[in-house]
Chains A and B, each alone.
Chain A
Amino acid sequence: MPPVRIKERSRAKKGTMKRLIKALFKQFPVRLTIAAICIAFNVFANLCSSVFASLIAGVLTKGVIENGGAYNAFDWSRTYETNVMGNSFTINTNIPVLLVMMGSIYVLGVFAAWWWNRSMAIVTQKYLNNFRIAMFNHMEDLPIKYFDSHPHGDIMSLYTNDIDTIRQFISQSLPEFLRTGLSVLFALTLMLINSVWMTLVVLFGAFMMVLNTKYIGGRASRYFIKQQIALGKVEGNVEESIKGLKVIKVFTHEEKSCEDFDKLNDQLGEFSTEANIAGNITMPINGNIGNFIYVLTAFVGFLIFAIPGFRNLTMVKGLVDMHLDVAAFNSTIVGFLMMNRMFTNNISQFSQHVTFIVMGMAGASRCFDLMDEKKEEDNGYVYLCNIKRHEDGTFEETSEHTHDYAWKHQHHDGTLEYKELKGDIVLDNVDFGYVPEKIVLHGVNVYAHPGQKIAFVGATGAGKTTITNLINRFYDIADGKIRYDGININKIKKADLRRSLGIVLQDTNLFTGTVMENIRYGRLDATDEEVYKAAKIANAYDFIMRLPEGFNTMLTSDGANLSQGQRQLLSIARAAVADAPVMILDEATSSIDTRTEKLVQEGTYKLMEGRTVFVIAHRLSTVQNSDCIMVLQNGVIIERGTHDDLIKEKGTYYQLYTGAFELE
């Protein structure tokens, strides 16, 4: 197997954000634009609260003053001149008009809020669905090498954790970014119009918040990484000790195990506490910086308005350009303080999203890595087809499922050439390495004539499975040639090549679904009758009928409710229903009891009849009657011949057979 790469990249590649957002807008241009407009309007509507509050305060004061005392605030007929946003401009209005305006903006604002929330939810889910499907589809087309060189847990976490971080980014961080960004801008503008001086104070506070977020956030993420590493160790220990729990009990090792665990657990606790503390105090600090600023602006405002000397300082005079009547003060200070709160709240809210954005980008980056992997290439132009034979020995292509096959050569000039499939497979001086630097097979020659049974024998890592990986082109050879009925297998369409090879693998790998569905996996258009027949060939029929619901019994999580032997029988049945002209059998090593073993063996024997078969043997008993046995050692065939030949030769095979060596 190629070396396994451990997950790298906890940080996003450059350009990930751009790629993600570009794809998002390409798929949902209209929805996203409307959502953005709605967000903007929603922000505007919420902001209007404070503007209207200050306006109303102004109008009321004016009204009382102009009326010289109590008056009916809801009187339509009279309007009052009021300053808006400091004294930049004035409008003539009254309370009822303001209330109606406020109400209508609110109604529209609520509608906008509903609309963008709804469409972001839809966009997120649809995008994720497309994303997931694209990722899965791409993954299915990747070469086996990808799966052999990446830990399966890492691939799985793309579909769970990483996609989830993308979801969080799109559905929450993205709108939040726009929302808080706009709010801050609006608030800033209004504050600037009101008072440059006080705004400077607020900006100083915002700067402090950013610093705080950076400092504490940095601390949090440092400990967070430590926490994750410690958690990994704890999980490793837990998994190991729970799997080995019975051994622990047998060796009365309980106390020692608890001690070891507690050490790791305490360390996790330590880092986790620090990470949590840092995470917990960011908000109160930012929030209270906001509070300080709130008080400070009030104080500065008070200085500006209440201490005439201060106001008359030349420097201040240019900046604070306003009439200082009572109404102006009221409307200005009330509105400003609200703006101030809004500004600081939004900044501290957004600071919480920074982590999500970083995580989302890292997740997206990992997913994009998978999607950027090169697909399995297939330049084949020779196809497999079923044929019907005529009495005179000729044959023609048919769409029926006959047990007869031919290779269909499609030439450049459009003519077709058919070549009968016989099952003649030749490996000619093949070299191969999972990585170019390390060749694991050297000059391998194999001649499998139609109907022959070829066995590979050798220790783990000798290269037995590798050879079969090459025949069905899970991997491509480095040097030499593999020919199938005289055709270089590179010219055969991969799908057709593989369809012509039935495989029973060491790992049985069943899928969630019924027994019937699992057997039918071999050939999707197999009738129920054909499935029953295949089950009988594989000796699986009897035990299937004893299952609670026979062929309709659901298999869960890789057939966990079946024994190892039964799962093997099912995978043989699956190969039997595929009815491929050439078989590759990777025998199982696991200890199954003698009776089931006999069943499995009989099943395989029946499957082998009349086919070219490659067998990877772990028990020599199964290979004795092979036409040719190849003994592999370190990627080289060191002995070849029939059982009797090899016994006579008194070489490695003989030693293996007599039990002088062990085979693992």
Chain B
Amino acid sequence: MKHKIKLILGSLRQYKRYAIITPIFMVFEALLESALPFVMSIFLDLAIKVNSFEDITTFYDHARIPFMVSLLVLIITMVVMAMLSLLSGILGGRYGAKASVGLATNLRSDIYKKIQSFSFANIDKFSTSSLVTRLTTDVSSVQMAFQMMIRIVVRAPLMMIFSAVMAFVAGGQVAWLFIGLIPILGIGLFFIVKFAMRIFTRVFKRYDALNQSVQENVTGIRVVKAYVREDFEKEKFNTASTNMSKDFIKAEKIVALNTPLMNTTIHISNIAVVSIAAYIIGKYSTTMVNEEGNIVVINNVLSIGQMSALLTYGIQILMNIMMISMIMVMLTMSLEAIRRIGEVLEEEPTIENPEFPLFEVIDGSVDFSGVNFRYKEDAEKDTLSNIDIHIKSGQFVGILGSTGSGKTSIINLISRLYDVSEGEVLVGGVNVKEYDLKTLRDNVSVVLQKNVLFSGTIADNLRWGDLNATEEEMRRALDIAQASEFVNQLKDGLNTHIEQGGANVSGGQKQRLCIARAILKHPKILILDDSTSAVDTKTDRLIRKGLKEDIPDVTKIVIAQRISSIEDADQIIVVDDGKINAIGTHEELLKNNAIYQEVYYTQNRVGGEQ
């Protein structure tokens, strides 16, 4: 945890000075704030004294003037104090905002960069939605906690200590009273927080579950209505909601003790201060008649002004204890966010550039020799075992196998999306681990199974393949991918805007755009992972023809469900249960391989595809 907090604070960078300066201003504000009543009490006592010169005739008496001057000086002092306090309040607020927002901004940027550096293995560890939460909600709660920390965490205890000191200055021994009250309030608050938090953590889980159920009802409303389960769902929800609400009430009842506890302590402190003050003032006061003939009360132990100052400081001390306890709760709640963010920042990318990387891939040959692979070190079973494949540059290779047989795992090793556990993968005759990652991946272009277009125009998306692609180059790629026709039919052609997730193009169109994007990279090896599943057979055939004729030198590796997509490949690899079952041409496999035969006959019976 300590390390995680350190990591997160490391993102402060250029905002560090704001983070340091903010508490200083806040402390300054606090000092002024609590000193003000003290000065006021001096002013009051003096004013009372002046008041006793009560007589119009003596108004111009010279004896009065020094008093008047000191009173004016006191007032000016107080005004200056208020102004300084205002200034530090504003500056503290300003720098506090800058520091905490700055931290959040840097943190988001750092997390984002970190995630970008992740390998596939790292990505698999975190779910997409959890990464999104960490980048958004969690960062916000760290921002809030941090702001609170620099603005109040330093301020509240200091304010308390300072008020206590001032109480001693103003009220002498009487101030011990507050010291006695602090632990009572502190312990009380501690128990309230402890018991309430225990229930709250439980309730919030229930709350999540409840919202989950609402979510299911909203997205699954057709199922609910189709099966006429409205009443069933209502009852389920009503019970869950009522149960949760009962728990909430339980917790809130405990929290409701907070204010009365606070009030009680303040009241006790008030009564005690007043009684003690009354006793002392009564006991040690003397009266005297001043020159003007008025009676003045003199008390050298405790004055009325001091009593009023004591009351104020008492409340301030206790209020700040309350603040501290609230801060503790908030900070505890942000610990979870800190932990989650720290987890991402601590994650080490499993694949990194070699120290002396190669920047050139000679040709598109691929060789697997004795490759074993598992996704996790401690996995019981290898995902791939004993893979030996040899693909010559420019060949067309098909891979076939059922879901989970390991097809995708094989091709992921080629562009080093994952590292092999044993054995080696060579591209252009060189182990992939020796290449510069960018060089390797630019030369090995993969069209992923779960492919994504990004919001932006079609041209923007295509330029992912080549930042400087001309329109002519893009058109050519679209031609090969058989996407020109539909792109030309769109009103804005290449400039058509693609919505988030590619929602406004159909599955087949999306696949073809993704293929075009991959072609634009001018790779030496092109891998299509089930990338034409939503494309009809005729277009599928045309794409293959285009690839063969227009980029003949590129090695093409195609994973497919349909035999028709790969039957004219130079070699077809049949994968079963993480092992190579057979390698051969269509004719050979049809003759010798049971799996291949089964798939072929099922598809030709049901699919009716020739």
Contact = CB atoms under 8 A, between A and B. Distances in A.
Given A251-B441, A277-B93, A591-B534, A72 B283 contact: yes
Nearest to A277: B97
B112 A136 contact: no
Interface string B426-470: 000000000001100110011010111011000000001101000
12 contacts: A60-B304, A69-B287, A73-B281, A126-B249, A159-B211, A250-B417, A291-B85, A302-B50, A307-B59, A521-B229, A662-B535, A662-B538
Contacts of A111: 260
B226 A73 contact: no
Contact of B220 (A113, A472, A511): A511
B234 A621 contact: no
Contacts of A511: 213, 216, 220
A490 interface: no
Interface string A45-86: 110010011001100110111001111111000000000000
Nearest to A235: B136
A117 B274 contact: no
Given A140-B233, A254-B117, A499-B228, A280 B93 contact: yes
Given A53-B307, A139-B218, A269-B102, 10 more contacts: A72-B282, A72-B283, A103-B271, A111-B260, A141-B230, A241-B454, A245-B118, A302-B47, A334-B308, A589-B534
Contact of B278 (A56, A69, A578, A657): A56
Contacts of A287: 33, 89
B89 A593 contact: no
Contacts of A306: 47, 50-51, 68, 71
Give 10 closest A-B pairs by Cβ, nearest first: A284-B89, A280-B93, A73-B282, A121-B252, A509-B220, A276-B97, A269-B105, A593-B403, A662-B536, A129-B245
Given A73-B281, A246-B450, A596 B257 contact: no
Interface in A428-445: none
A636 interface: no
A244 B89 contact: no
B579 interface: no
A349 interface: no
A102 B271 contact: yes
A160 B253 CA distance: 22
Contact of A662 (B90, B135, B441, B508): B508
Interface in A540-559: 557-558
Contacts of A215: none
B357 interface: no
Contacts of B221: 144, 147
B581 interface: no
A226 interface: no
Interface stretch (B358-366, B371-379, B488-496, B598-606): B598-606
Contact of A659 (B228, B464, B609): B609
A498 B521 CA distance: 53
A649 B307 CA distance: 105
Interface string B83-112: 101101110111011101110110011001
A113 B263 contact: yes
A265 B105 contact: yes
Contacts of A120: 256
Contact of A70 (B222, B252, B283): B283
A239 B132 contact: yes
A512 B534 CA distance: 31
A231 B215 CA distance: 23
A253 B88 CA distance: 46
Contacts of A415: none
Contact of B90 (A285, A307, A324): A285
B171 to A, nearest CB: 14
Given A117-B258, A509-B223, A65 B287 contact: yes
A507 interface: yes
A488 interface: no
Contacts of A571: 223
A118 B415 contact: no
A238 interface: yes
Contacts of B274: 52-53, 56, 99, 102
Contacts of B44: 298, 333-334, 337
A592 B403 CA distance: 8
Interface stretch (B161-169, B291-299, B545-553): B291-299
Interface in B265-287: 267, 270-271, 274-275, 277-279, 281-287
Interface string A101-144: 01100100111011001101110111011001100110111001
Contacts of A24: none
A28 interface: no
Contact of B464 (A117, A126, A253): A253
Given A114-B256, A284-B86, A57 B304 contact: yes
A522 interface: yes
A384 to B, nearest CB: 10
Give the bracket for the number of chain A residues in contact with chain B.
Answer: 35 or more
Contact of B602 (A155, A524, A598): A598
Contacts of B238: 133, 136-137
A321 to B, nearest CB: 17
A574 B234 CA distance: 20
Contacts of A510: 220
A308 interface: yes
A620 interface: yes
Contacts of B128: 242-243, 245
A34 to B, nearest CB: 14
A131 B352 CA distance: 54
B283 A73 contact: yes
A591 B559 CA distance: 13
A281 B94 contact: yes
Interface stretch (A256-264, A355-363, A528-536): A256-264
B267 A109 contact: yes
A393 interface: no
B442 to A, nearest CB: 6
A265 to B, nearest CB: 5
Interface in B305-344: 307-308, 311
A248 B294 CA distance: 89
A501 interface: yes
Task: Find the residue from B102, B238, B304, B311 having the highest chain A CB count within 10 A.
Answer: B304
Interface string B30-55: 00010010001001100110111011
A305 B278 contact: no
Given A249-B441, A664-B507, A664-B534, A73 B29 contact: no
Contacts of B116: 245, 248, 254, 257-258
Interface in A579-602: 589, 591-596, 598, 601
A65 B289 CA distance: 10
